[in-house]
A and B are shown apart, each in its own frame.
Chain A
Amino acid sequence: MSTMKSQFNLQSGAVINGKWHHKHYRIEKELGAGANGVVYLATYQGQLVALKISENGYTVTSEVNVLKSFTKVQGSTLGPSLLDVDDWQSSSKLYSFYVMEYIHGPDLLSFVKQKGEAWVPVLMLQLLSDLEELHKAGWVFGDLKPENLIVTGRAPRIRCIDVGGTTIKGRAIKEFTEFYDRGYWGLGSRKAEPTYDLFSTAMVFIHCAYPSRFSKDGRGLEQLTDKVKKHKNLKCYEDVLIPALQGRFKSASDMRQALLTCSYKQTRSKGNSVSPQTRQPTRKTKRKRHGTTGAIVVILFIGCIYFFYLYSQMV
């Protein structure tokens, strides 16, 4: 193995046969590909499942280990539930794969774009509950980023997928993405500690306000603080975001509490008047714009009539 991206080209309709458990999975489409393999949507006995396949058996085993240990956490929603692990002998090669619950829904950023900013703190509260459980079970999620967060269900609920970065507490983080990594910003080590995930959570929050992200300018915390203070959607969460970036929350539940306090304060200070930023996004602004254009047209129209009136009076 000398390159990191593996190329699978499984077409819709292809069938994956498990070598050990003899189950058949029918490939529907590709859900996504990354450094560790490719994830497909597949059907098994009429049920939709997600199937992750990799050239590297160790990656599969490693992620399976994490998912298995999650199932031991009572009533948990940590990660997708694990359904099967097996090998598949293709015409040329043996591949390892695992099958998990298919989590249906948009990723975090698409969801927020669609449904509005008001969802961000809500989803972060949910995420922090899950992180609290995960940390209690002795793990740190590691590669927390919007692509790894899916919002699912009619009562929207955030779910973490991709446990490739999930690491036993105290070890070195297995996998991370720079923007959400405190080491990249010069704000801490890459040791798996709860504070590592809380930093990433704050960065995910910030990313929601700056959808195209931004790159570091070398000022570290100062730059991030600026970004928080300068954005109307973030400013009111300063008391959550800044301490999280500094690693000052001892646990996810502490950070969750601070977030609750912020949300509460915000509601109080607003009273009954709804500020523009908490309104439903796209539709209302559009209607407003229609309103103004309408008014301008009317004024111009009246102006013209008045002008003609004056003109006719003059002659």
Chain B
Amino acid sequence: MKTGSLKQILLITDGCSNVGEDPIAMSALAKEQGVSVNVIGVMENDVIDEKGMQEIESIALSGGGVSQIVYARQLSHTVQMVTRQAMTQTLQGVVNRELTQILGNKQTIEDLPPEQRGEVMEVVDELGETVEMEVLILVDTSASMKHKLPTVKEALFDLSLSLNARTGKNKFALFVFPGKKNDVEKLLDWTPKLESLTSVFAKLSTGGITPTGPALREAITYFDKKRSLRNLISRDDDEYYEESI
């Protein structure tokens, strides 16, 4: 079985973008490149307005990911849950496509009698345990997020704890937007452990604009293009092509 890696962007924000490209389009672009986009909207006592909520949902929807809006104090639990859910969702998609190939005729797991679904589920579970994950975390550090950052940091530790309990390897990277000079700034390059975050978050300065779209566009380019999940189980025709680049 060929193993590729499962790629996710985890966007943590508290509202609407206000500069640059449409983040929903950028999210759709990520999906096309095999990267799913999950969004977590963080509220404090304030509520996120209707427009912000819609944007959050739409980004996840067009990015093939999961979204959730939570109060800051629930952040830890939500971050790990959303990431896990999105992972399972992607794997289910992959396995379903696989089934269609085997069974033909556009069959999916729902066309199998319940008795036969168990084994398919075991495959999904097994993959979820062993697949390599690449999670790029994109944190909104516009002014309104400032006092939520300690909570964000804690949630990211917690995510690392959850994912590192798996047998499969993990890689995390951390980006914030807006950056000091550019729309987006890399704080942490690919690393298996998020523990190095502590020092990193201390240096943060928060800005006024929220360039969600440009940040997403930039983030996509940081993934290793060669190993997409499409090759996870199947021998896609374009595998040789991808491998030979």
Residues of A within 8 A of B (CB): 1-4, 20, 35, 57-58, 61-62, 64-65, 68, 85-87, 94, 96, 168, 170-173, 178, 183-184, 189-191
Contact = CB atoms under 8 A, between A and B. Distances in A.
B93 to A, nearest CB: 11
B118 A68 contact: yes
Given A61-B114, A184-B158, A190-B162, A2 B167 contact: no
Interface of B: 57, 60-61, 65-68, 76-77, 81, 85, 88-89, 92, 109-110, 113-115, 117-118, 120-122, 124-125, 129, 158, 161-167
Contact of A61 (B66, B121, B158): B121
Given A178-B76, A184-B76, A172 B121 contact: no
B109 A57 contact: yes
Contact of A3 (B67, B114, B164, B165): B67
A94 B110 contact: yes
Contact of B66 (A2, A96, A183): A2
Nearest to B119: A65
B85 A183 contact: no
Given A173-B165, A184-B76, A87 B114 contact: yes
B120 A61 contact: yes
Contact of B110 (A2, A57, A171, A190): A57
B61 A2 contact: yes
Given A4-B85, A184-B76, A172 B110 contact: no
Overall SS of chain A's interface: mixed
Given A4-B81, A172-B162, A58 B68 contact: no
Given A1-B89, A61-B117, A171-B167, 11 more contacts: A2-B67, A4-B66, A20-B114, A61-B121, A68-B118, A86-B114, A87-B110, A96-B114, A172-B163, A178-B77, A189-B165
Nearest to B130: A171
28 contacts: A1-B66, A2-B65, A2-B66, A2-B67, A4-B66, A57-B110, A58-B88, A58-B92, A61-B114, A61-B117, A62-B121, A62-B125, A64-B114, A64-B118, A68-B118, A96-B110, A171-B125, A171-B129, A171-B167, A172-B166, A178-B76, A183-B161, A184-B76, A189-B161, A189-B164, A189-B165, A190-B161, A190-B165
A190 B158 CA distance: 10
Given A172-B162, A172-B166, A184-B76, A3 B89 contact: no
B161 A65 contact: no
Contacts of B125: 62, 168, 171
Contacts of A20: 113-114
A178 B154 CA distance: 13
B110 to A, nearest CB: 6
B68 A65 contact: no
B90 to A, nearest CB: 12
Contacts of A35: 81
